[in-house]
Amino acid sequence: MEKPIKILIVEDNVIIADDMQSMLEEIGYEIVGNVIVYEQAEEVLRTTEVDLVLIDIILASDKTGIDLGKHIRANYNIPFIFVTSNSDRATVEKAKVVKPNGYLVKPFEQQDLYTSIEIALSNFNYLDKQGLTEDDVDKPMSNSVLKDSIFVKKQHLYYRINFTDIQFIKADNVYLEVNTVDKKFLVRSPLKDYLEKLPRDKFYRAHKSYIVNVDHIGAVNSKDVMINDKLIPISKEFKEFIISSMNS
């Protein structure tokens, strides 16, 4: 099942923080924390599943949002966006050092906030799945959030989908139809490229137009496999692979 993106807000102006929370909840994100100082943010990150953090650079604590960014980079593999009133050169240069996944200057509209989050999640997910960092030098840190799932866009939001819930993926012109246990999502991607983002021990190219999750195969014959009462055509090579796996 799809899960809403879980966001932590770190902002010491409670009026702005509450306004941000209302904006985000209105478009379907889940706010797992709305805190004003570094120490509170550290506690939420330690005890709660978080997908993305929105951080004001100036906080009501000795440690700044930049310090929090450093803490996230060192300990978590999640994206964060600086949300600040400061766009001067010195502040931007300090912020760049910790490689934020976005930089949003106040005041902003709901659409600005949404766009920044969507781009940050999309780029972060792509880099992580390719085994890259933003500078393409360091190896990625251990992935505690995305190791068992992938972001899939539906309408105006990215949802995190567990790999175990994906049953099969069908190519349809320039789009892919990602079929989960109870939902369908359209993704713009070549089938071959999408396969590379999925666990290699579970997902296989069963046909030129299909990827299947072998854990969801309920039956097989000489030409098809059945997943959730749907017959999916298979290639000769995949048929031989399935038969070999059944007999091993």
Query: Rounded CA gap, 2 and 181, in Å?
Result: 10
The pLDDT of residue 63:
93
The pLDDT of residue 107:
87
The pLDDT of residue 77:
87
The pLDDT of residue 140:
29
Query: Rounded CA gap, 233 and 90, in Å?
Result: 59
Res 158 pLDDT > 80: no
Q: What is the mean pLDDT of the chain?
A: 83
Least confident range from 54-63, 81-90, 92-101, 131-140: namely 131-140
The pLDDT of residue 2:
57
The pLDDT of residue 142:
27
Res 144 pLDDT > 80: no
DSSP state at residue 164: G
Contact 71, 50 (CB under 8 A): no
Res 141 pLDDT > 50: no
The pLDDT of residue 57:
92
Quick one: CA dihedral 4, 150, 52, 50, positive or negative?
A: positive
Residue found by looking up tokens 């060192």 in the block: 74
Q: How confident is the model at residue 145 (pLDDT cuts 50, 70, 90)?
A: very low
The pLDDT of residue 120:
86
Name the packing angle between helices 38-47 and 65-75 (round to 10°): 20
**What is the arithmetic mean of pLDDT over 127-151?**
44
The pLDDT of residue 231:
94
Q: How confident is the model at residue 206 (pLDDT cuts 50, 70, 90)?
A: very high
Q: Could you tell me how far CA 84 lies from the centroid of its own chain?
A: 24
The pLDDT of residue 88:
80
**Chain segment 5-63, per-residue pLDDT in tens:** 899 999 999 999 999 999 999 888 999 999 999 999 999 999 999 999 999 998 988 99
DSSP state at residue 101: S
Quick one: residue 229, left, alpha or beta (phi over 0 = left, psi -120 to 50 = alpha)?
left
**Chain segment 108-137, per-residue pLDDT in tens:** 888 888 888 888 887 776 445 444 344 432
**What is the arithmetic mean of pLDDT over 99-114?**
88
Q: Which is nearest to 27 in space by CA: 49, 4, 53?
A: 4
